[in-house]
Structure 1
Amino acid sequence: MKFLFPWTSERKTEVRHPPTSAVVTIQDHSTRRVSLRELVEEKCPSLHAPFHPAWWLPNGHLQTLYCVLGDFSQRDKIVYKRTMLRLKDGGTLGLDFTPVDDTNLRPDAPIVVVLHGLTGGSYESYVRAILSPVCLPPSEGGLGYRAVVVNFRGCAGVPITSPQFYSAGHTDDFRQAIFYISTLFPDAPLLGIGFSLGANVLTRYVAEEGQHCRLRSACVLGCPWNLAANNKWLDSTYIGNIYSKGMGQNLVNLLKSHLNSLSQTPEHDVSKAAMTAVALNKPTIGEFDNTFTKVGGGSSPPWPFASGADYYEYASSHKVLGDVRIPLLSINAADDPVVQEVPMDAKGNEWIIMALTSHGGHLGWFEPDDDWGQVRRWIRRPVLEWFHATAEVLQRETPQHLDIREVDGYLTEVGRENLGCRVLDDKEQIIRGTEGQAGILAGL
């Protein structure tokens, strides 16, 4: 573990490779066998370059606050086409695909699959900052890929249709979304990216899948890793408590918007916990999790948990890093006021590269733009280089996927017949990417 100090003045980005790096096959000018470290050093030069924050956003607090309060409505405009998935347990996910008109893209064009942060969705500025250049045609300087944002239950206008929410430790919803995406585009490489809470979910999913993982690679940004340690840090300082209450109130406000749905099952434990949670007054995120997430954050088993602490023990992603079997790039910032502990050793896993910028805050990484007084996100450069390297240069060994089949109208995986999804309806819904959710602070 590495404990971080937000007053550091260095600009250098620390990139930590394992003692032994996985050996992979790449195809560029010729077919070669190289280490994953060599691939990253050769194809991801921005990762090893220092990040210089905008002069008026010199520390993690200002970077984070700008991520929350900045006006990004005129930047990285994206339009999505939403597909609603009904899950076997009655829950609903919203999958936002872009570009809407993809007729000029080849069927095997890589697809970036996104998991958003705590109470976010496809509208988040940090999501759009990555997907805008990802989906831009190569003739305009982009990668020319498809992308899809998996909006958690209850987020970004997705309804709650069963007595269950989402959390940092529940991976089955993402797993079922992958069933659908990989069936819809069977020849396309899937590249995962997660932000904050979504990064924790993505890391756990990749680790749980091991060699059966359907993703070609993964990238996690601002991952909270050790949930208990980072929550303790937030509770131990005045400014940390402000962040914690901001996130806790965001969760309360999101839950309040779904009370009508949850009230349909008043005797269910999740509904009861929701009624208790919405009565909390400016709770910390720990208080919210100890009231609601321990009960409603996932399916049984292992939910419900006896306490928020037990939920943190289960859901933390730092413990499962040893099980990752695909290339995974992690980037955190040393002055992140929300995440103060990062497992830079990654348990020595040969498939993982850990990077730590000196500045950037929580999902910020704002640097000066070419237009005077404007900023852009530095993070898009190393992330796009990583996507290109792992989708088009890296040659994946024969994957060991389990078969997906349709049973009773649901797509399910052999051995996981308790899970499954189906398209809710064929009605096309267009989503404007800059339109957030009422009552919810963006950027968290």
Structure 2
Amino acid sequence: MTVVDNLLGLILLGRAVVINFRGCAGTPVTSDQLYHCGTTDDARQALMYIAKCYPHARLIGVGFSLGANMLVRYLAQEGEHSRLVAGCALSCPWDLHAVSSRLSKGTWMEQVYSRALAQNLVTTHSGALARNAAFAQVMPTILSLKSPSLLEFDALYTSQHASHVAPFPFPNVREYYSWASSHNVFTDVRVPLLAINADDDPIVRDLPLDVGRSGLVVLAITRGGGHLGWSTCRKRWWSGDHPRWVRKPMLEWLRAVGEDLWVDSPRGRPLCTVNGFISEVGRENIGCREIKGGGEITCNVVRGQRLAGL
């Protein structure tokens, strides 16, 4: 499932790193592990790499839309071991089954949006599947989807074939969405988290109003703002030459947790090297390395070709 922006931004000592998940933003898919809405390992491995390069940096995560869902899930999964000292989740979809069902069965415009997203996923994955023998068995099903909704695509493909490791495949798409959602795990977050959603978001209509159960999570619901909109000017909103209101509270939050929050350092599990891959002690099954010819990193400048291997 893809909803508008699949981005997770990481702020470190005033510098920013943007993570584009595999297969997104034109990045190639070079393995049999495809991107899906429940994955957190891409960000986890990127954080290993960043922590290796900047061992004393204070890392703060900012997630947009589906990236926000991934951020909340990462923080919940890591708990006390999170490499991020705090997070900010903007327009998080929270309950993915509710979002996908509404888009697939809602208004005419919502259905058009759902089918456009699903068609984009078919187009994105078909090339990778055609090159990968491990997924050749699902190619006929993928290519037969003429105009699927997001729910249909996730039921036929994502919940069954998006990964070759547990907990895939799922018995049904509802269980996949339940596993991949963030509304049922936020109580496991152990670092300060600010979430901002709008009450007129056309995509996200179901919000976890019980976040008060967690003393570390704050959900702010604004009057108006749409999905990642929050325009400060209702006139000529299409021109793009006006600021977005959400920048102000987001930057205030980043400044507060970046400068005033006391945290233990370093955070996260100890790093180690396994067969040339940067990994974590006790979690050696995942890791990352910079591929040969991928460029050298000096501070925050990437030299040479595209940095890969994350």
Would you say same fold, with TM above 0.5?
yes
**C-alpha distance in 1 between matches for 2:191 and 2:183:** 16
**C-alpha distance in 1 between matches for 2:147 and 2:227:** 21
In structure 1, what is the equivalent of residue 28 of structure 2? 159
In structure 2, what is the equivalent of residue 379 of structure 1? 246
Give the counterpart letter for 1:429 in structure 2.
Q
C-alpha spacing 1:186/1:397, structure 2 compared with 1 (3 Å):
closer
In structure 2, what is the equivalent of residue 20 of structure 1? none
The answer to whether the aligner puts 1:345 opposite 2:210 as a matched pair is yes
TM-score, scaled relative to structure 2:
0.86
Instruction: Check whether the contact 1:170–1:297 (CA below 8 A) recurs between aligned residues.
Output: no
C-alpha spacing 1:274/1:118, structure 2 compared with 1 (3 Å):
farther
Instruction: Check whether the contact 2:199–2:226 (CA below 8 A) recurs between aligned residues.
Output: yes
Q: Secondary structure at the match of 1:353?
A: strand
Give the counterpart letter for 2:192 in structure 1.
P
Give the counterpart letter for 2:213 in structure 1.
G
Query: What runs of 5+ residues in structure 1 fail to find an aligned partner?
Result: 1-116, 136-143, 432-444
CA-based RMSD: 2.7
Deviation of the 1:400 alpha carbon: 5.4
In structure 2, what is the equivalent of residue 310 of structure 1? 175
Give the counterpart letter for 2:203 in structure 1.
V
The answer to whether the aligner puts 1:188 opposite 2:57 as a matched pair is yes
**C-alpha distance in 2 between matches for 1:311 and 1:121:** 19
Q: Which has the larger radius of gyration?
A: 1
Query: What runs of 5+ residues in structure 2 fail to find an aligned partner?
Result: 296-303
The answer to whether the aligner puts 1:368 opposite 2:244 as a matched pair is no
C-alpha spacing 1:167/1:185, structure 2 compared with 1 (3 Å):
same
2:277 to 410, 420, 436: 410
In structure 1, what is the equivalent of residue 153 of structure 2? 288
Q: Secondary structure at the match of 2:79?
A: helix
Deviation of the 1:399 alpha carbon: 5.6
Q: Secondary structure at the match of 1:232?
A: helix
In structure 2, what is the equivalent of residue 336 of structure 1? 201
Residues 180-219 of structure 1: matches in 2 within 5 Å?
180-219=49-88
Residues 86-125 of structure 1: matches in 2 within 5 Å?
118=3, 120=5
In structure 2, what is the equivalent of residue 244 of structure 1? 114
Give the counterpart letter for 1:376 in structure 2.
P
Instruction: Check whether the contact 2:272–2:279 (CA below 8 A) recurs between aligned residues.
Output: yes
Identity percentage of aligned residues: 43
Give the counterpart letter for 2:46 in structure 1.
A
Deviation of the 1:371 alpha carbon: 10
TM-score, scaled relative to structure 1:
0.61
**C-alpha distance in 1 between matches for 2:279 and 2:150:** 34
Q: Secondary structure at the match of 2:110?
A: helix
Give the counterpart letter for 2:276 in structure 1.
G
Give the counterpart letter for 2:106 in structure 1.
T
Give CA deviations for 1:276-302 in whole Å, capped at 9, x if unaligned: 224312221111111221133345111
368-377 or 237-246: bigger deviation: 368-377
**C-alpha distance in 2 between matches for 1:396 and 1:253:** 44
